[in-house]
Structure 1
Amino acid sequence: MAPLIALVTGFVVARLTGLLGIEALDSWQPALRVGLAVMFVVTASAHFVPGLRANLVAMVPPGLPRPELLVTVTGVLELAGAVGLLIPATAPWAAIALALLMVLMFPANVSAARRKVPFGKRPATPLVPRTAEQIFFIALAVAAALQ
Structure 2
Amino acid sequence: MFDLVIFLVVALLGFRLLGMLGVGRFGTWPAGAAHAMAAMLVVTASAHFVPESVTVMPNHADLVRMVPPSVPYPDVMVYVTGVLELLGAAGLVLAATRRAAGICLALLFVLLLPANIYAAVSDVPFGGDEATPLWVRIPEQLLYIAVVLWVARSAPRGSVRALRHELVG
Quickly name the TM-score band, shorter chain normalised: over 0.9
C-alpha distance after superposition, 1:73-116 (max 9, x if no partner): 00000000000000010011101111110000100011111110
Partner of 1:24: 25
Q: What is the TM-score when the length of structure 1 is the normalising length? A: 0.96
Distance in 2 of aligned mates of 1:3 and 1:83: 18
Q: What is the TM-score when the length of structure 2 is the normalising length? A: 0.84
Partner of 1:115: 122
Partner of 1:39: 40
1:3, 1:40 within 8 Å by CA — same for their partners in 2? no
Q: Secondary structure at the match of 1:90?
A: helix
Trace 1:64-75 onto structure 2 (pairs within 5 A): 64-75=71-82
> How many residues in Structure 1 have an aligned counterpart in Structure 2?
147
Partner of 2:111: 104
Distance in 2 of aligned mates of 1:4 and 1:53: 21
2:67 to 60, 64, 68: 60
C-alpha distance after superposition, 1:11-67 (max 9, x if no partner): 111100000011221110100001100110111011011131101000000011110
Q: Which amino acid aligns with 1:98?
A: L
1:87 aligns with 2:94: yes
| Aligned-pair identity (%) | 48
The unaligned stretches of length 5 or more in structure 2 are 53-58, 155-169
Runs of 4+ in 1 over 6 A off after TM superposition: none
Tell me the C-alpha RMSD between the 2 structures: 1.0
The unaligned stretches of length 5 or more in structure 1 are none
